[in-house]
A = this chain, B = another copy of it.
Amino acid sequence: MIPHPYLLYLGDSTDELSVKTCRGVAVWRPELCVGEFRGPRCTVTLGLPHLDFAEAVERGARTLILGIANAGGVMAPQAVEDVLAALKAGLNVASGLHDRLFGHSEIKAAAEALGLELFDVREPPPHLPIGNGRRRSGRRLLTVGTDCSVGKMYTTLALERELKARGVAAEFRATGQTGIFIAGSGIPIDAVVADFISGAAEILSPERSDDGWDLVEGQGSLFHPSFAGVSLGLLHGSQPDALILCHESGRPHMRGLPGRPLPDLKTCLLANLEAAKLTSPDVLAVGVALNTSHLGPEEAHRACREAEDLLGLPCQDPIATGVDRIADRLLACFETSAAA
């Protein structure tokens, strides 16, 4: 677990996209964030208090979160200096960059000397097991998608919030860097060696004996030719009792692949259910999450209605309307099956 509260590092970022990860943490875990650290040329803000490292420590911060993206994923010299200063001020450091903290000998040495921890959240844990596909106890839900970046993490977190508000035990299980900062732990599933994808998913959502839910953040898409292997291993290893299908309305082509159309919702959902049955024979779909941010309100409403009619499942835009009806369906399905 990454110790919290956090100070979010924005460095000298000048565009929204490059601070996407920090923003995800601020949006979903405001209670964990004491402030943001901005360099002199920084032009973006998360609306949190602007703090230097000493001030952040005074307010209780325990870890600096490098949730930024930059050209080539390499740490700029200024970022290295800032990390060293943060360590000296007494902060642990967690990074989502490709360029590992542990790859910088001066950072590693400083952390060791000061007794502080470094977290490279793109680095999978060592000694992952091979998946075994054996049925395990507990209830698990996985978000799957027509494409990458259609709102799987957002949907999973919205459902966690909704279930918790109803007093249902539910834990978000993170599979990507932003999710890992939000959850404080997780496994970057796309960075795992291919042989261990499903094994990693199995230990990410281990057996549980209460009636609560493990809500697993999906990755990629069975229909994305770059990443479908990751999606399938995650699907098998997660052994989901329930799926939510995520989609962005009006997306013109598969992410990064101009000219390649998205699968239709029904084909995509059926393929995921069929593949999931290998390790979870009774898997059910419980809803559709539609990202309608590029549509007007009427179009958005119509898109949700069409998906509902097509699939016979509640369909909501988690950002615009929340996921209450999807949660209703989830709980109804699994009350019924428990009583049956």
A contact residues vs B (CB 8 Å cutoff):
130-134, 189-195, 197-199, 222-223, 225-234, 236-237, 256-257, 260, 271, 274-275, 278-279
When all copies of this chain in the complex are counted, the total is 2
Q: Pick the contact of A228 from B257, B271, B278 — CB < 8 Å?
A: B278
- A198 vs B237: C-alpha distance when bound (angstroms): 20
Would B230 and A195 count as touching, CB distance under 8 A? yes
Would B232 and A236 count as touching, CB distance under 8 A? no
Minimum CB–CB distance from A259 to chain B (whole Å) comes to 9
- A234 vs B233: C-alpha distance when bound (angstroms): 13
Would B199 and A230 count as touching, CB distance under 8 A? no
Given A131-B225, A278-B228: A233 and B198 interface contact (C-beta under 8 Å): no
Given A223-B278, A236-B229: A133 and B193 interface contact (C-beta under 8 Å): no
- Can you list 25 residue pairs at the A/B interface with Cβ under 8 Å? A130-B226, A132-B256, A133-B260, A134-B257, A189-B194, A190-B194, A191-B194, A191-B195, A194-B194, A194-B230, A194-B233, A195-B227, A197-B229, A198-B225, A198-B228, A198-B229, A223-B278, A228-B232, A228-B233, A228-B236, A228-B275, A228-B278, A229-B231, A229-B236, A230-B233
